[in-house]
Each structure stands twice: as C-alpha cells, then as structure tokens.
Structure 1
C-alpha cells in the first residue's frame, strides 16, 4: 500500500492551485487592493466582509473569526474531506502526479470514501442519461416534451431516466467494482429483506450538484400515476447530500449570481430549467425542503450580502401552499441585508407554466414585476381581516405593526408606515405610534447573528497587540510587507532586519520565524509556508492574517514604494533608538579607563549611521 504524500508533492500542488478559483466556488470575492480579495466568510455569519484572500501567497484569513489557511485547508473545511483526499483532488485538477513516501500512487482501495461516492454518482449520471435515450424511456421523453423541453435541454441539465427495474443500476455499479458497503452510503439504493435494490425506478432524474459541479444526489419525478411513492422522491441524507445546504441549479447559476448580485428561488426542477432557458440564469430551487438557514448562508455569500446592494427573489405558486412558503421565507428576511422580493404571476402560474403558454418573455416579466417581501407578507395577511370594520382594521394593525418595526432601513420603515396607513384607511400618526409601541413580530423569527463576532481563538486574544501603539502598528505593517512582498526588501533592509529586534512580543516571535525561514529556504517560493513552518503553532493565525492583509496601494509601482518606505521607516526608527542608547552609554563611559570599549561604541555608532543613510530613498 502506498505511503504518505511527500512534502515536495504537496508544495507542487499548492503552488499550482489558484486559491481564488477554489474559494470562489463557495464565496463571491471582490477586489480589496492590489492582489487581495474579500468576501463574506463561509465559516461564520457576518454582515460585512472580513474574509480576505491573497492568491499570490496562497492564503486566506478571516479577520472576524480568525479562520485561516491555504487551499487544502479551505477544501477540507468546506467539503469535509481528509487531508490526503484533498491533496489528491487538487492534484487531479492541476494535472500533477503525486509521489508517495514509499513510491508509486495509491492503490484503488486507498481512494478516499468521499471520492468513491462521487465516482459512483458520476457513473450513475452516465447510466441515467443513457437510459433516457432508450426505447423504454419514450414516456419520459414525452413528459419532457409536454413540459416544453427538447432533448438538447435535457442534455444541458443532465436529466436522465431511472429504468423500471429493481437492480439495474445496482448491477451496473457492482460491475464497475463498487462494493455493497460502498453503495449503501450513496443513497441510490434502498434495503429490504433480500438486500439492496434501486431506490429510483421509472422516474425522471435530475442530478443535484454541488458548487464544484459534482453530482451528490438526485431529484426523481414520478411518471406512473399508479406509483405508490411520492410525486418527487429525493436522495436521503448521505455523507455527500445535506438537503438543507443544497440548492438545485447552483452549479450553473453561481457565476451569474455573483456577477448580477441576484438570486432567484423557484420551487421545482422544471422551473429552474424554464427560468434558465428564458434568460433568468440566477435561478435555483430547494430540494424537497423549505428555504432555510443553510440556504440563507449560501445566498448571502454568493451575492456578497454586505448592505451595498443585491437582491433575493422568491417565486411561488399563487395557491395557499405558495403563500405559506413565502411567509416561511419572510421569517429569514432579518438575516439578509439585501432586498428581498416575491414574484407571483397574476394567475398563479409557475415559471415553467408561464414559459410553456406565454413564452420566455413572460418569465422575464414575472421576475421584473417582483413585489417587496415586506409588502407581500403584510398584504397577504391583511386579506384575513375585515377591513370594513373597526375591529378588523385594529386587528390588522396589531398584526402588521411589529413587522414594520423590524424593517432595518429607517427611510423604508417610514415609507411602509405611510403605505400601511393607506391600506388600512387609518391616520399615519396612529399607525406610527402603533409601530413604535410594537414588540417583535413573532418568536419564530430568529435574531440575526452579530455582524462582528468575537474572536474564537483564545490564544489570539492573549497575544493580540494594541494597534493604537504606533510602534506596534509600524511593526505590523512591516511584517505585512515582509510576508507578502519579501522580494521588495533591499540587501541593506535585510541586513538591518537581522541586527534589529521587534518590540511587540508576538511580532518579535514572527520576526524570528521570518529570519529562520530566510536562512533555511533557498528562495521565496511558498514563502509564507516556510515562515509558518518556523513559527510556533499558536502564531499560525497571526502569520496568515498578516499575509493576506491588503496593502494600501493600487498599482505595482505603489506597492514597491510603500514596501520600501514602511521598511525604511521602521528600521530607521529602530536605528535611531539604538543610537540614542549608545550615545547615553558613551556619555557615561570613562574613556581613560577603557579606551577600547569607548572606541567600539563610537564604531558602532558610525555603522548605524551608515545603515540609516542606506535606508534613505533615492528619488
């Protein structure tokens, strides 16, 4: 059996991996200065972006929760993979052949369980899609045609067909080398008294994919009315598939969502297809569950929900079930900074029905004619009150006032007070007073998480310097330059760095690691990794934080100038302090008793002055 992956192979994988591309599979990133990007942290809920990525250094760091690491750690944390599995995954992406300590490549049985599950789903995809073209699937193709979809549309979305047999997929995967133990974990099979059998039979199959385009589950639509199962049957919870954290169509929509800062939530798989084909490429759907907190977190990361724009649009059927779904979505509105809307067609049609009967433009008009979620939530419930009576209007006001009070934007809140007064036929001042007196709308609505959570690492709290101290701030800025742009340091700056000592304990420890890395590393390739290898584990978060902090420069020329100036300022300050100390000693020294010591101090003063002069920029 193969041994551990060599350190050299790991370094090659990290060097070849684009961290920005890896992170953007989960988080929308914006420029945060030259060579730096930021977005909403995937590891904790926050209102403003504190998650920074520096691709050139291969590191990310969250200034909110202190999570940090490289591409390997990011995938391990977000995809719940093992270390070796992650390295093998990235190696496959970057076409790098891994070397193992005992030589060779891993044997088939050493492939990580998650990769085996993904391989099984990939083969199942091919199996189902091929089955859709068979004579036995003519009724499945007819169903798609009736819904307004062509064969090309089915291929675009990977739609397939599960044959009407008990073990066709089971036999197919067993022939491809999968064990019954592995297949049990896929969710593709049910277990009876006689063992495993195909879970999906005689159904249309929509592959549900994660953001990295891997199939992790299926949504299966009933084709036979005599089928005793549910109309839609989904994959059960598996190591891959967590329905509360999955949105169908997200793999196709994520780039459009990030670019347009819009997320459209529809109700079904055919609605996603219809919306995308009609030009609404930001459409996704939940998979057999209501839109919940897990989906909120995904949505906020993708649209960069930091209060600077973006919108989430829910489309629901016009029936009672659709209205209930809209009200459930309303419960999560206070967790979203972006504007939220509801789009309901006049006759209650879903996007697929609209496209079939009225064409693509009707779907686009549905989204364009969206209604603010607050308005929809209030007006939907007002229908339950008799607004022709004093009692009815009073009851409606008691219901609506707490909802209006929860509107964060004061200008929008005042606007809704006036709107509500008009809907109820009441005086604006009366409604305003009712809103001011109102308590929370409902206990079901959960308070939003704090925008700036406390640091999770106790060690970070103990070591963290006070940046109001100018020395601490200057040392921090210098270390940012040293870690991010070591090539900009001159020979004299490196020489001064070796002969100086940072005053802040944590920065002094990092300086020690920097100098050790400079002595041991052949060059600055994977420079930050070399520094972290020399630093105590407790300082890992500090090093990565400094390595991803945006430098205050907008061009390469400015970066070079800034790096030179900050290092010169710091080292000149340190030299000035050393000179002051030596001059004080010189004044106290008895030159007649110890002329050699007196001369040594003078010589050191000359050396320091020469160093200081070398640090002065030549413009």
Structure 2
C-alpha cells in the first residue's frame, strides 16, 4: 500500500511516546493510585473524572463512555486525524524520522485535509508576524500595540501580526507556497467575490488563535484604519473544518499548564486583555473568540481544571462595570451550573479593562483586580437589587421575589442557608421571611422548573441524538459484579503483565470462564499468540485488541489495560498463581455440581458401574478443588 508506515517505525513511535504526556496537553491528570492517572473525559461531558490513563501500559480508557486506546488513537480522536497523520505528529514529537514501505511518504497536498489547513494557517501566521515589523503600512499596528504597553518582544510572544492592506498579499504569498485558492477559501484565510479570491483580513492587526496543541486554526483581526470598508472593530475567521469559535479560547495554549497547576482560570473579554494579564503575572487568562462564553468553552476549562467534587478550582470572569458587563455576568451565572469550581467576578470599579488597567496603574493593579474577586452570585444579586427602591416595603418585597430564585438555584445546597442570610442583610429583612421565599422558589423550580435556563443537566447535542448507540455483539460484564471479580482481575493481569500468568493461562479453556465476554477475550489472547509469548506493553494490548471481534470487546480490552489491580503493592508471581488457582477452583466447583446432579439422577442398583465411576470422579474432583483452594488462599489472603 502506497504511503504505509513501516511496522518497526510504528513500534518505535509507540515505545518512545508517553501517553500521559500526550494526553496532559488536553486534559489535566491527577494521580489515582497504583500508577494510574485520572482526569475528565474529553470525549463526553461528565462531572466526576472517569478517564483513566496507565502510563506503564501506554493505554487510556474512559469508564464513563467506554472509549479507549493508545496515544495514536487519542491523537486521532481528539484532533480528527487519520492514522498516518497521527503517527507523523507523534513521530515528530519523539524526533523519529518515519520510513514508508514503498520509500515515499503519502501525498499531504490534498486540499481540504486537516493537515493541509493547519499548514496553511502556520504559513499565514508566520507571514503576518513578519509583516508587522517589515511592512510600511504596519506602523499604525505597531503604534496601537505600543500605546497599550506592548513592545516587540510581547508581540512575538503572542504571535501578533499585521495583515497588509492590499487584497492579494497573503493570497499571493500562499500561492507561491503551493496552496490552492480553493483550500485557502476552505481554511477561511481568503474570501471570494465577483472578481475572484482576495485576502479575508486586510489592513488589520491579527492575533493567531491556537488549539490546546498549539496549532494555529484561525485569526482575530482588529480594525486600524478609518477607510476600512468593514466597520466592525473585530473580525474573526469564519467557521471552517478546523475553526469552531464556540470551542476555542484565545491564549489557552499558553495558559493551560498554569490553569492546571493553580486550579484557576481567568476569563477576560479581549486579546489585549489576555496579553496584559499574562505579562502582569496572571498567566491563567484566556478569552473567547468573537462569541459569548458558552457550554463548550466551559467543557474545555473543566478538563484543564480537573473540575470535580473532590478537587475544586476557581473560574474568575472579568467584566466591565457597565450595563453590557452586567448582562455578561447574568449569562455567566446562568451557565454557572456547568462548573463544580467556585465562580467569581473581578470588576474594576473605574470601568478599566485589564489592558487599560495595566497601562494606567501597572502590573500590580492587574494582579490585585484578580485577587479582589467576589463570588459571582453576590455580584449578580447586587446588580439586581440596584433596580429596586429598598427604602420602600414593596420595593424590598419585589427585590426578594426577584433574587430568591437565584439563591435557591445555587448548586451547593449546603450554602443556600448562608446565602439567604446574606441576602436578608442586603435587603434589610428578617431572615425567616427570606428563607421562606427561597424555599418557595426552590419548590417551584423542583415541581416545574426543569427547563430553567442554565440549570439542570446540559442539553443533549444533536449529534448525540442522531447517531444510535452501537450495541456490542458480546454483552459486557459489570465491573462491579462480585461474582466475576476473580475473572476480571485475572484478565487485567493478562493484559497488563502477561509474563506473570504465562503458559498456565494459555492452558485454560472457554469453559473456565462464566461470562461470555471473558470467554471470547480468552480466544483473542490465544489469537494474539498467547500470554506465554508476550512481554507486555502497548504492542501486546494492541495485538489483543486487534483480534477482538467487536467494538464492545475492544472497549473491554482498553478498560482492563488501565484498571488498577487489587494487589497491594503491585502484583507478583504469587498473586498471579493464586488468581489462576481460584479461576480453576471455581471451574472445578462447577464440574462437581454437574457430577453431583448426575449422581442424584443415577440408580446405584441398576447402574452400579456408572454410579461407581461418577462417585470416583467426584472424589478426585473434590481433592483437586481442595488443593486449588489452598493455592488460591495463600496468595489472595
């Protein structure tokens, strides 16, 4: 096959790629015991982390949605790449030069492919960055940055560039680099009209918008010149195969490590605000890209924060103090249910945004703005109360009715009482009166408020509804079923440490397992060459997975590869021997039950020979079971 990567190079990439380092670019991982790591799954929305990673095995598996695989699988899924594209990315990361079976790499110049669109954006970002310092027209852009306290080093740190005023500057440059007009149009870098294709961004300061991986997928552009025919102050890349504004946060590639380390994310409103925060010592700042903060943005931050009940961080929104800022705060409060982390608001009373605040009062003022954050609920309540005359009795009652539903909707119900007391103080009303109104609001919401905006579970996406769930051909075992724990534990050893079970496992039959999935998996292990022939590792897991007959069993393989073993201090030969003995003991017990049943149906007088033969068989099986039990108890005690 043309372009097929050589098998030994695939094995080398797997060997030199640490799956935890790859996944931690997208998901914050925390230790979960027994060498495992855990985080929030990037492939479905969840409140508690169920995405497990086993670096020793080189595999990951989500026990929530059932997906899993190695580092190559993860990059394919998270970035939407083909196998070859994922291999090339990981090979470049590991410093490996791939070789192809026919001596030639596959064609990467097909328009519309993700790799091609990424290449075009990388070339465009380099072109814009160079133009900022060389183009005669870029003086206005350099002045814009300088007036806001950003020097050349800052511009280079954030990749800021300048789009020349001519309609064909970028187009001509990228044509010379071998890109076609059609693929540049698909990428959103150029637009088309009656006279053909032309640059989408012209005479503007541009900021590259990157994914978590660091790849440029779009741009944000600010108006500089009065004669710009497009009056909008900011333009963004349109929706493309690689640019989805509802899922992108500007600066997240620079902030992701600090967000994970500090368990804090600061959401600002503009590109220059992100720059100002990072330069002032708030490296957790990010901004949306031409759209309001929404559910998909929240999911990105939750994965980086490892936002769950046992490990809470904080999300800090910065809003202007004007009416638009207050509306933004209300939208953020409506989406507050998406976070387990505490949400805050940082508002500068003078109305300055972080960029202007840094310019006027220095870096310390920006850090102080974030430090003086207030809980989001308190900010929202305060804004609502300003609409009412609290000096009048009817005004206080109306204000209570307006704010009680917000207090009752606070996610952490243990805090509702404290918030009600605080609201009573703000209103100047008796605490019992406020508590009664909050209870009424909570009851009304429980009885008919399932559709309250921003509250309750997140809506199901259309893609999740239109695609029917695949039912595996083989039913999967319940991992919590106590009757199956020995079989499951043995298969975890087979997948994770095959050398410990070796040929003795290979001697087992399908009948030694009670669940059809484990019987089928035994066949997959045999088809992969048997546990006695493997030294383990990700290649072994892949070999077993490749020989499983359906998606359900493949999911079981990845689950077993990452699920921690019960052995205290790690498994050893004694523990493996005990599991093997216990599985055999249970199998012999089933044979004993079968022989006893036949004995009960046999007449010892009329069928003496048969009866005596079965009785002798029963005695031998009982002796064998006792010996196996002694073996099993020794290592599982």
For residue 485 of structure 1, the aligned residue among 473, 497, 500 is: 497
Q: Which structure 2 residues correspond to residues 267-416 of structure 1 after superposition, within 5 A?
A: 267-308=269-310, 309-416=312-419
How many angstroms apart in 2 are the aligned matches of 1:397 and 1:601? 79
Q: TM-score, normalised by structure 1?
A: 0.90
Render the CA deviation track for 1:524-550: whole Å, top value 9, x for unaligned: 341111112222114112222222212
Specify which of 544, 548, 565 is matched with residue 551 of structure 1.
565
After superposition, residues 217-296 of structure 1 pair within 5 angstroms as: 217-229=218-230, 230-296=232-298
Write the distance in 2 (CA, Å) between the matches of 1:461 and 1:494: 25
SS of aligned partner of 1:503: coil
Q: Output one character per residue of 1:569-595: Cα deviation in whole Å (capped at 9) or x when no partner.
A: 333443555567679989989897999
Q: How has the CA–CA distance of structure 1 residues 481 and 519 changed in structure 2, closer, same or farther, with 3 Å as cutoff?
A: closer
The answer to whether the 8 Å contact 1:46/1:449 transfers is: no
- Normalization by structure 2: what TM-score? 0.88
Structure 1 counterpart of 2:23: 23
CA 1:594–1:564: 2 relative to 1, 3 Å = closer
CA distance in 2 between partners of 1:601 and 1:111 (Å): 72
Deviations 1:106-156 (A, max 9, x none): 235358711111111111111111111125122222221110111111111
Map of 1:505 onto structure 2:
516
Root-mean-square deviation (CA), in Å?
A: 3.3
In the TM superposition, 1:414-433 aligns within 5 A as 414-433=417-436
Post-superposition Cα deviations, 1:348-406, rounded to whole Å, max 9, x if no partner, equal 21111111111111111111110101111111111111111122111111110111111
CA contact (8 A) 1:575 1:612 kept: no
Question: Hey, what does 1:569 align to over in structure 2?
Answer: 582
Partner of 1:54: 54
Tell which has more relative contact order, 1 or 2 (C-alpha 8 A, sep 6+).
1
- Which range moved further: 595-604 or 362-371? 595-604
Moved more, 94-103 or 159-168: 94-103
Counterparts of residues 421-500 of structure 1 (less than 5 Å): 421-438=424-441, 439-440=444-445, 443-449=452-458, 457=469, 459=471, 463-466=475-478, 470-489=482-501, 493-494=504-505, 497=508
Q: What are the ranges of 5 or more consecutive residues in structure 2 without an aligned counterpart? A: none
2:546 to 524, 528, 533: 533
Q: Which residue pairs with 1:126 in the alignment?
A: 126
CA distance in 1, matches of 2:259, 2:481: 42
Q: Which shows bigger deviation, 318-327 or 12-21?
A: 12-21
Structure 2 residue aligned with 1:194: 195
Cα distance in 2 for partners of 1:253, 1:11 equals 33
Quickly say closer, same or farther: Cα 1:108–1:374, change in 2 above 3 A.
Answer: closer
Residues 201-241 of structure 1 deviation map (CA, whole Å, 9 limit, x = unaligned)? 22211111000000111111122233232111111111111
Alpha-carbon distance between aligned partners in 1 of 2:346 and 2:49, rounded to the nearest angstrom: 29
> What is the CA distance between 1:345 and its match in structure 2?
1.1
User: Is the partner of 1:239 in helix, strand or coil?
Assistant: coil
Deviation at 1:9, TM superposition (A): 4.6
Q: Distance in 2 between matches of 1:174 and 1:77?
A: 31
State how far apart, in whole Å, the 1-side matches of 2:40 and 2:409 are: 23
Most deviating of 558-567 and 240-249: 558-567
Q: How many Å apart are 1:333 and its aligned residue?
A: 0.4
Could you tell which deviates more after superposition, 280-289 or 435-444? 435-444
In the TM superposition, residue 500 of structure 1 has moved relative to its aligned partner by: 6.3
CA distance in 2, matches of 1:574, 1:450: 47
Secondary structure at the counterpart of residue 264 of structure 1: strand
Give, in whole Å, the separation in 1 of the partners of 2:492 and 2:470.
23
SS of the counterpart of 2:197? strand
C-alpha distance in 1 between matches for 2:224 and 2:302: 36
Checking the alignment, whether the CA contact within 8 Å between 1:264 and 1:283 is kept in structure 2 is yes
CA contact (8 A) 2:513 2:583 kept: no
1:178-193 map, 5 Å: 178-193=179-194
Structure 2 SS opposite 1:208 = strand
Report the Cα distance in structure 2 between the residues aligned to 1:202 and 1:593, rounded to whole angstroms: 98
SS of equivalent residue, structure 2 residue 471: helix
| Stretch of structure 1 that moved more, 478-487 or 426-435 | 478-487
**Structure 1 residues 461 and 349, CA gap change in structure 2 (3 angstroms):** farther
Distance in structure 2 (CA, Å) of the matches to 1:114 and 1:499:
45
Q: How many residue pairs were aligned?
A: 616
Distance 2:576 2:387 in 1: 66
The question of whether the paired residues in 2 share the 8 Å contact of 1:51 and 1:62 is answered with yes
Deviation at 1:289, TM superposition (A): 0.6
